[in-house]
Chains A and B, each alone.
Chain A
Amino acid sequence: MSDRSSLDWAAEPDSPVPPPTWGRRAPEAQVLPWVFAALVGFLVLGNVLLAPYLTAPALRTWSTIFVAICVQALPFLVFGVALSAAITAFVPASVWNRLLPAKPYAAVPVAGAAGMVLPGCECASVPVASGLMSRGVAPSAALTFLLASPAINPVVLVATAVAFPGEPLMVVARFAASLVVAVLAGWAWQAFGRREWLRVPPRHVPPGQSRHAAFVSAMRHDLLHAGGFLVVGGLAAATLSVVVPRSWLSAVAGVPWLSVLVLALLAVVLSICSEADAFVAASLTAFSPTAKLAFLVVGPMVDLKLIALQAGTFGRAFALRFVPLTFTLAVAVSALVGWALL
Chain B
Amino acid sequence: MNRMAQSLVLTLLGGALLRISALSTTYLNYVKPGFRPLLIAAGLVVFLLGVMGLVQEWRRPFVPDRRPPEHGPWADGRAPDAGAREASEDGRDTARENSPDDGHAGHAGHRHGPRVAWLLCLPVMAIFLITPPALGSFAAGRDETPQPRPTVLDGYGALAGDRVTVMPLGEFIGRAWGDTNRSLTGKPVRLAGFVARSKKRGQWYLTRMQLRCCAADAFPLRVAVVGVAPPPDDTWVEVTGTWVATPYDKLPKGTVAPEMKATGLTRVDQPAEPYE
Binding site for B on A (CB under 8 A): 2-3, 6, 9-10, 13-14, 16-18, 22, 24-29, 31-32, 35-36, 38-39, 42-44, 46-47, 50-51, 54, 57-61, 63-72, 74-75, 77-79, 82, 165-166, 196-199, 201-202, 216-217, 219-221, 223-225, 227-229, 231-232, 234-235, 237-238, 241-242, 245-247, 249-250, 270-273, 275-277, 279-280, 282-286, 311-312, 315-318
Contacts and interface: CB of A to CB of B under 8 A. Distances in A.
A201 B148 contact: no
B123 A234 contact: yes
Chain A interface, DSSP helix/strand/loop, else mixed: helix
A71 B94 contact: no
* Top-3 shortest CB links A-B: A276-B213, A228-B116, A68-B215
B216 to A, nearest CB: 5
Contacts of B229: none
A285 B217 contact: no
Chain B interface, DSSP helix/strand/loop, else mixed: helix
6 contacts: A36-B11, A64-B29, A72-B31, A246-B142, A276-B214, A282-B148
B62 A27 contact: yes
Interface string B222-258: 0000000000000000000000000000000110000
Contacts of B147: 283
Contacts, number: 293
A126 to B, nearest CB: 14
Interface in B70-126: 72-74, 77-81, 90, 94-95, 98-101, 103-105, 108, 110, 113-120, 122-126
Interface of B: 1-4, 6, 8-13, 17, 20, 27, 29-31, 35, 38-39, 41-42, 45-46, 49, 52-54, 57-64, 66, 69, 72-74, 77-81, 90, 94-95, 98-101, 103-105, 108, 110, 113-120, 122-139, 142-149, 151, 212-217, 219, 253-254
A51 B131 contact: yes
A71 B66 contact: no
Contact of B81 (A29, A39, A75): A39
Nearest to B140: A61
Contact of A42 (B8, B46, B81, B118): B81
